[in-house]
Amino acid sequence: MLDETTKGVFTIAVTPFLPDGALDFDSIDRMVDAYIERGANGLTVLGMMGEAGKLTAEESVAVVRRATARSSVPVVVGVSAPGLAAISALSKEAMDAGAAGVMVAPPMTLRTDAQILNYFQDIAETLGETPFVLQDFPLATGVQISTSLILQVVETCPTCVMLKHEDWPGLEKITALRAASDAGTRRISILCGNGGMYLLEEMMRGADGAMTGFGYPEMMRRVVDAVNAGDIDHARDVFDAYMPMIRYEAQPGLGLAIRKFSLARQGVIAHPTLRKPSAALTSTTTAEIEALAARQRIRMTQLGLVD
């Protein structure tokens, strides 16, 4: 079960599809194995970059069951939905399947601090003893959650054990939350998103790790381990080697297509298919990805991280 001490890398899993758009269960197995082999301490399925909104309720449950059955590390399940009934139903299925906890993002309809606080209090009541992750991703949800409001949620919702930090610019939020913990506020785990774009600085500000996806998921474990070992220079070297690809994958509207293409070219999933409506990569774009991958491999070889 997730708790406030959870740390490391929880890789946000893509949802593999066959070329016709059907779920690719064989690739789910292969993907889970690959993520763990590349250093994932945990997995997160049905996140926003897992195309959760394109799945039926039955498909969502099927993905959760397949991933949890295959995984040897804790699995967090994204259960965000417009209504509490859907959140409750999927959460129950997830926990019954062996998930370690669930992740909830606020709906776009919330505007005031009081509305946001009441919402997460309702979430805590609805989920009962299930530990949950508060996903703070205003770029996607349009909901701004201040540091003081997060602390109110932490104070009034004991089952909120983790913040998935995806605010940007958001480094000062991490610093403020850790300062509050040092002053006696209940400390919760902070794992960070944003495709790893700010992971180095987030770790140095006091984050406990990453909860995000990237076409080369081993990057996150390497950076996190280096920072935790106090080898900041090595962490910077590794981060710098991957940064051109991180930057390229961060393109709004195209990032998931790029990520799936990278994962498919490495054999992690069989097909780079996104469910429609979706972005399509041109031959020019794929050539740019190949060029970045080649240069990245050269850098990693120089660092002694590949043969």
Which pLDDT tens digit goes with each residue over 209-228?
A: 999 999 999 999 999 999 99
Q: How far apart are the first and last CA of the chain?
A: 37
Does position 236 have pLDDT exceeding 90, yes or no? yes
Q: What residues have CB less than 8 Å from 229, skipping those under 6 apart?
A: none
Q: Residue 211 annotated as binding?
A: yes
Question: What span, in angstroms and rounded, lies between the C-alpha atoms of 74 and 101?
Answer: 8
How many beta carbons lie within 10 A of that of residue 98, not counting itself? Answer: 14
Does position 60 have pLDDT exceeding 80, yes or no? yes
Task: Report the greatest alpha carbon distance in the chain.
Answer: 55
Q: Output DSSP code: residue 307.
A: -
**241-278 burial, b if ≥16 CB within 10 A, otherwise e?**
bbbebbebbeeeeebbbbbbbbbbeeebbbebbbeeee
- Give the mean pLDDT of 65-72: 98
- Give the mean pLDDT of 151-165: 98
Q: What angle do CA 272, 39, 206 make, to 5 degrees?
A: 110
SS (H, E, C) 43-88: EEECCHHHCHHHCCHHHHHHHHHHHHHHCCCCEEEECCCCCHHHHH
Please report the DSSP string for 108-121 in residue order: TT--SHHHHHHHHH
User: Is there a contact between 13 and 36 (Cβ–Cβ < 8 Å)?
Assistant: no
pLDDT class of 299 with cuts at 50, 70, 90 = very high
Crossing angle of the two packed helices 25-37 and 57-70, in degrees rounded to 10: 40
Does position 307 have pLDDT exceeding 70, yes or no? no
Q: What pLDDT is attached to residue 306?
A: 83
pTM: 0.96
How many beta carbons lie within 10 A of that of residue 126, not counting itself? Answer: 15
Q: Output DSSP code: residue 273.
A: -
Q: What pLDDT is attached to residue 279?
A: 87
- Give the mean pLDDT of 252-261: 96
Q: Which residue has the tokens 């043969």?
A: 307
Q: Which residue has the tokens 């789910």?
A: 28
Nearest by Cα to 214 from 192, 237, 194: 194
- Give the mean pLDDT of 146-157: 98
Residue-range domains of the chain with CATH: 8-230 (3.20.20.70)
Cα 64 from chain centroid (whole Å):
15
Does position 171 have pLDDT exceeding 90, yes or no? yes
Average confidence score pLDDT of the chain:
97
Q: What pLDDT is attached to residue 233?
A: 97
C-alpha distances in Å from residue 23, one per residue of 8, 168, 222, 269: 29, 33, 31, 12
Question: What span, in angstroms and rounded, lies between the C-alpha atoms of 2 and 90?
Answer: 17
User: Is there a contact between 62 and 93 (Cβ–Cβ < 8 Å)?
Assistant: no
